[in-house]
């Protein structure tokens, strides 16, 4: 007779109860971390992950058999959702299709998605009330294969300097990979093309100040493999990156973790995992909790783009 599966666990999460099936399924074999361990991690950073995802269309990176079974990129809400799970409909003109994506409002939404084998959460930089008007400018410091972490740290200081001169508040976080992300809350008054052009103007300014360290070359083949790419393309429509407090689908179970600017010289992305972040969160809380109180108007960046002749970036759907 086949051995029976471990019984499901029912967890109260706010006003709802989430049933977690196969709680002992190992998701991260090198760590022995299970599905229930992943659930407990997200419960430990509850306010932070909800703040990062709230009201945004969200793509899910699901691993139905754990990391060894491979990743599923899921735009549409998985089947079988309870009636309290909310969605937002978004249109994909390249394919002429719509998708109803998860739209998180409370922690139970997140835990249900984890029950459905989600490891990573990738939200849009716009919200459900107007998905075509971003309210988040994302600066992605993406190291090329031979770029050392010390270069990422050095460029982060330049990014901070330029943001300060603009009067913009940047909120840094590790990517969970080898780079850094910096988010800036913006007024939702422009479309994706304009926000992306503003992001390119900023990236070019950073490159001008650190030409030995930074590239903004569009094509990967044109980038020095030892440089850092300031990836303005992450502001394009339907381009998403892992949310603050999202676990990454890698063997070490790293976490995309908010950090203080003053910490960047002394940290490494590998420092932040599902094993270490809960205690950090319990001590510091959500370092991005006040982001909505620091809204930046991107008009100066668009003016900078005009002054330096920064054209609209290549149309991603045509590249």
Domains of the chain: 9-123 (3.90.920.10), 133-239+293-308 (3.90.920.10)
pLDDT at site 211: 98
pLDDT at site 12: 98
pLDDT exceeds 50 at position 203 = yes
pLDDT at site 126: 98
Residues 236, 171: Cα–Cα separation, whole Å: 19
Tens of pLDDT, residue by residue over 26-60, are: 999 999 999 999 999 999 999 999 999 999 999 99
Q: What is the CA radius of gyration of the chain?
A: 20
Residues 71, 118: Cα–Cα separation, whole Å: 9
pLDDT at site 96: 87
Tens of pLDDT, residue by residue over 78-98, are: 999 999 999 999 998 888 899
Question: Using alpha carbons only, what angle is made at residue 178 by residues 267 and 118, rounded to the nearest 5 degrees?
Answer: 105
What is the average per-residue pLDDT within 154-174? 98
What is the average per-residue pLDDT within 152-170? 98
Split at pLDDT 50, 70, 90, the class of 311 is: confident
Split at pLDDT 50, 70, 90, the class of 11 is: very high
* Whole-number percent of the chain with pLDDT over 90: 92
pLDDT at site 1: 39
pLDDT at site 318: 38
Tens of pLDDT, residue by residue over 178-187, are: 999 999 999 9
pLDDT at site 213: 98
Mean pLDDT of the chain: 95
pLDDT at site 160: 98
Distances (CA, A) of 200 to 230, 233, 235: 9, 8, 9
pLDDT exceeds 90 at position 2 = no
* Whole-number percent of the chain with pLDDT over 70: 96
What is the average per-residue pLDDT within 10-30? 97
Distances (CA, A) of 166 to 134, 154, 185, 293: 19, 19, 13, 17
What is the average per-residue pLDDT within 182-198? 97
Global confidence as pTM: 0.95
Residues 155, 60: Cα–Cα separation, whole Å: 30
Torsions phi, psi of 150, nearest 5? Answer: -60, -30
């Amino acid at each position: 007779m086949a051995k029976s599966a471990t019984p499901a666990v029912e967890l109260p999460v706010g006003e709802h109860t989430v049933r977690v099936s196969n709680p002992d399924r190992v998701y991260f074999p090198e760590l022995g971390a299970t599905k229930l361990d992943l659930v407990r991690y997200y419960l430990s950073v509850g306010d932070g992950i909800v703040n990062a995802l709230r009201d945004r269309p969200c793509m899910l990176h699901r691993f139905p058999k754990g990391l060894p079974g491979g990743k599923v990129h899921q735009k549409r809400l998985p089947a079988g959702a309870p009636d309290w799970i909310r969605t937002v409909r978004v249109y994909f003109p390249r394919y002429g299709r719509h998708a109803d994506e998860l739209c998180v409002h409370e922690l139970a939404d997140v835990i249900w998605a984890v029950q459905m084998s989600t490891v990573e959460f990738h939200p849009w930089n716009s919200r459900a009330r107007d998905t075509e008007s971003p309210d988040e400018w994302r600066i992605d410091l993406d190291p090329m294969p031979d770029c050392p972490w010390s270069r990422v740290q050095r460029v982060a200081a330049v990014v901070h300097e330029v943001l300060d001169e603009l009067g913009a508040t940047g909120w840094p976080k590790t990517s969970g990979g080898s780079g850094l992300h910096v988010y800036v809350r913006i007024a939702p008054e422009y479309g994706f093309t304009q926000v992306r052009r503003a992001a390119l103007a900023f990236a070019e300014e950073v490159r001008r100040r650190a030409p030995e360290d930074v590239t903004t070359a569009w094509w990967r083949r044109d980038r020095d493999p030892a440089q850092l790419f300031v990836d303005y393309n992450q502001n394009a429509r339907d381009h998403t990156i892992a949310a603050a407090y999202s676990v990454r689908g890698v063997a070490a179970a790293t976490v995309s973790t908010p950090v203080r600017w003053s910490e960047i010289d002394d940290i490494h992305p590998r420092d932040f995992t599902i094993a270490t972040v809960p205690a950090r969160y319990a001590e510091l809380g959500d370092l991005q909790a006040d982001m909505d109180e620091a809204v930046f108007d991107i008009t100066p960046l668009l003016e900078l783009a005009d002054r330096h002749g920064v054209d609209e970036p290549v149309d991603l759907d045509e590249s």
